[in-house]
């Protein structure tokens, strides 16, 4: 097991870090597995190795691996020699592994001696991986980004830049009361909602103006009729 002590880096993506069904130790073990997968594409370490590494029992390691298996983050293959098990191989889930592969390639392009460049690449790629995984469900389909309601300042700036003044407090109060939903669905584009609100406001102004003009003309005709009647 001596060769496992190489300085491999570990990665624990957001989908694993924030999984409430996993214990903290299972998440840590996942990171250790990613580190050992760097060399051969799979982790070949035994429960005894991990137990010695983390000062726990092999049974505890088995429990953590089962958590990762149940959640679909890893798969296990047993390599047999006759009737006995020669080796256990732990593989990362395909979707996560694809993300990590791209990360590893970028990682290797940067010299670890160049601390600034290393840290910058680490930040850029780690963000990219987390975004990909966070927006991907179990079937590999892209999820919608989680909607974050805009602030008063954001709406003010948008209205100013796009020449669509609206009553911002009224807009926010209205959609807050609806839990920021458009119909039955959660709002996905507040800028579009602002533009629609502005267009409706303009339509109301035009309709009001048209109605007032109609009433004025009608009143004028009525006055002329009455004036004529008096004159007679």
Q: Are residues 90 and 44 in the same domain?
A: yes
CB contact at 8 A, 205 and 167:
no
Question: Any idea of the CA torsion for 148, 153, 155, 160, to the nearest 10 degrees?
Answer: -150
Q: Would you say residue 144 lies in a domain?
A: no
The model carries a pTM of: 0.43
Q: Report the 3 state secondary structure along the chain.
A: CHHHHCCCCCCCCHHHHCCCCCCHHHHHHHHHHHHHHHHHCCECCCHHHHHHHHCCCHHHHHHHHHHHHHHCCEEEEEEEECCEEEEEEEEECHHHHHHHHHHHHHHHHCCCCCHHHHHHHHHHHHHHHHHHHHCECCCCCECCCCCCCCCHHHHHHHHHHCCCCCCHHHHHHHHHHCCCEECCEECCCHHHHHHHHHHHHHHHHHHHHHHHHHHHHHHHHHHHHHHHHHHC
Q: How confident is the model at residue 143, as a pLDDT? A: 46
**Tokens of residue 126, six digits:** 């780690």
In whole angstroms, give the CA distance from residue 90 to residue 49.
14
Q: Are residues 130 and 169 in the same domain?
A: no
Q: Would you say residue 54 lies in a domain?
A: yes
Q: Are residues 73 and 166 in the same domain?
A: no
Q: How confident is the model at residue 117, as a pLDDT? A: 47
Q: How confident is the model at residue 23, as a pLDDT? A: 94
User: Percent of the chain beyond pLDDT 90?
Assistant: 27
CB contact at 8 A, 31 and 37:
no
Residue 127: CATH number of its domain: 1.10.10.10
How open is the CA angle 177-179-180, to the nearest 5 degrees?
A: 105
Q: Over the chain, what is the mean pLDDT?
A: 75
Q: Give the pLDDT confidence of 56-72 residue by residue, as tens digits.
A: 999 999 999 999 989 88
Give the structural domain span for 94: 2-134
How many domains does the chain fold into? 2
Q: Are residues 160 and 130 in the same domain?
A: no
Domain boundary among 134, 163, 189: 134
Q: Would you say residue 145 lies in a domain?
A: no
Q: Would you say residue 106 lies in a domain?
A: yes
In whole angstroms, give the CA distance from residue 78 to residue 127.
34
Question: Residue 29 CB: number of other CB atoms within 10 A?
Answer: 27
Q: Are residues 51 and 92 in the same domain?
A: yes
Q: Would you say residue 58 lies in a domain?
A: yes
Domain boundary among 134, 161, 193: 134
| Residue 122, pLDDT above cutoff 50 | no
Q: Are residues 189 and 159 in the same domain?
A: yes
CB contact at 8 A, 194 and 166:
yes
Q: Are residues 123 and 156 in the same domain?
A: no
Q: Give the pLDDT confidence of 5-29 residue by residue, as tens digits.
A: 555 678 888 888 998 999 999 999 9
Q: Are residues 164 and 50 in the same domain?
A: no
Query: Rg of the chain's alpha carbons, rounded to an integer?
Result: 32
């Amino acid at each position: 097991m001596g060769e496992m002590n190489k300085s491999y880096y570990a990665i624990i993506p957001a989908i694993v870090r924030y999984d409430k069904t996993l214990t903290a130790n299972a998440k840590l073990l996942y990171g250790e597995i990613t580190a050992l997968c760097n060399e051969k594409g799979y982790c070949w370490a035994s429960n005894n190795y991990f137990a010695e590494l983390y000062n726990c029992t092999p049974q505890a390691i088995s429990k953590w691996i089962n958590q990762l298996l149940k959640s679909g983050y890893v798969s296990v293959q047993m390599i047999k020699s006759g009737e006995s098990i020669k080796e256990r191989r732990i593989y990362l889930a395909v979707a996560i592994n694809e993300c990590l592969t791209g990360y590893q390639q970028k990682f290797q392009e940067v010299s670890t001696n160049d601390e600034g460049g290393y840290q910058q690449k680490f930040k850029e790629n780690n963000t990219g991986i987390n975004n990909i995984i966070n927006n991907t469900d179990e079937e590999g389909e892209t999820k919608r980004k989680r909607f974050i309601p805009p602030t008063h300042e954001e709406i003010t700036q948008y209205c100013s830049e796009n020449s669509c003044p609206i009553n911002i407090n009224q807009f926010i109060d209205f959609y807050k009361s609806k839990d920021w939903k458009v119909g039955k669905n959660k709002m996905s584009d507040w800028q579009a909602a602002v533009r629609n609100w502005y267009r409706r406001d303009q339509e109301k102004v035009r309709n009001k103006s048209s109605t007032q003009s109609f009433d004025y003309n009608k009143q004028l005709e009525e006055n002329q009729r009455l004036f004529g009647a008096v004159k007679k």
